[in-house]
Amino acid sequence: MHILVLGGTTEARTLAEALHARGYRVTTSLAGRVAAPRLPRGGEVRIGGFGGAEGLAEWLRGQHVDVLIDATHPFAGTISFNAAHAADLAHVPLLALRRPGWAPSPGDDWHLVDSLEEASRALPGLGSRVFLTTGRMGLAAFAHLDELWFLVRSVDGPEPPHPPRMETVLDRGPFTLDGERELLRRHRVDVLVTKDSGAAATAPKLAAAREAGIPVVVVRRPPAPEGVPVAETAEEAVAWVAARV
C-alpha cells in the first residue's frame, strides 16, 4: 500500500511517521515554501508542485498511489481542491486530515474576518502596535498601513511588499504561554492578527492576548472541497487507512 501525504503541517508529519511505523510505504509531499522544512522521521519525501490537479493525478498513477491524504494547512486552499480533483481523475480514495478551528473563550475580544485584506481594514480601529502571525506570504495586504507598527513572526524572512514600520521575529512553533506573554509585553502589542489555523502549537498567543485584554483579528478559513471524508487527528487518519486495507 503506497500512501501519499500532502504535508506542510505538524499533523502531516505525525501521520507520516505513524503510517511508516505500521509498515506502509509513505511519501510526504511538500510545496517547497520553507527553506529548511521539518521532515518526517520515516518514509520518503518529495518537494515541489505537481503542476495542478492533472499533474497530481499523473503522479498518483505513475507512483501507484493507493490512498491520498490531504494533510495540508487549512489555509492552503488550492492544493486541497487540486487533491479532490486529482483523486477523482486517478480513482484514488482521498481523506482530508484537518484539525478543528479555534473557538473563542470567555474574555476573548475576537474580530472575525474573511481575508487578510479585511483584516487590514479592521486594524486601524483596533490598535497601532500589531502582532501579525499570518505568515510572510500575505504581507502585501498590510503594506499600505504606514501609521501602524508591526511585529511579524514567520519561519523565513519576509520580502517586500510589506508594511514600512515592521520588526521581524524568525521563529516557528510550538510557542509557550510565558513566551507569548513576554513578546506582547516587550513590544507593547495592542492588537493580534491570526489565521484560524486551529493548531495547538500556536494557540498560546490567544490565551496571552485574552489575559492582556488585547483584541484579536481572526481570519476565517477558506472553503474546503465538499464530499471529502475528514479526520481531525493523525490517529483517526491511521484508523481510516487501516480500515481500507
| Residues in touch with ligand NAP (CB under 6 A) | 6-9, 29-31, 33, 49-52, 55-56, 72-73, 75-79, 82, 135, 195
User: Could you tell me where the DSSP H helices lie in 45-176?
Assistant: 52-62, 77-90, 116-122
Closer by beta carbon to ligand NAP, 14 or else 29: 29
**Is-contact 219 134, C-beta < 8 A?**
yes
User: Shortest Cβ distance from residue 5 to ligand NAP (Å)?
Assistant: 8
In the complex with ligand NAP, the residue whose CB is nearer, 9 or 190, is 9
For the bound state, the minimum distance from the C-beta of residue 60 to ligand NAP, rounded and expressed in Å, comes to: 12
First to last CA, the chain: 8
Closest-CA residue to 94 (of 233, 228, 216): 228
Please, what is the minimum distance in Å from the beta carbon of residue 87 to ligand NAP? Answer: 14
Show the 3-state SS of 61-90: HHCCCCEEEECCCCCCHHHHHHHHHHHHHH
- Least CB distance to ligand NAP at residue 172 (A): 10
- How far, in Å, CA of 230 to CA of 142, rounded? 33
- The least distance separating ligand NAP from the CB of residue 90, rounded to whole angstroms, comes to 14
Which amino acid is present at 141? A
Min dist CB 188 to ligand NAP, Å, is 27
CA atoms within 13 A on the CB side of 154: 22
Q: Name the residue nearer to ligand NAP (CB basis): 6 or 237.
A: 6
Task: Work out the angle between the directed axes of helices 234-244 and 10-21 (0-180°, nearest 10).
Answer: 40
48: left (phi over 0), alpha (psi -120 to 50) or beta: left
Nearest distance, CB of residue 48 and ligand NAP, angstroms: 6
* Choice between 82 and 120, CB closer to ligand NAP: 82
Whichever of 94 and 190 has its CB closer to ligand NAP, that residue is 94
* The amino acid at 207: A
At residue 48, the 3 state secondary structure works out as coil
Minimum CB distance to ligand NAP smaller for 71 or for 190? 71
Closer residue to ligand NAP, CB minimum distance, 55 or 104: 55
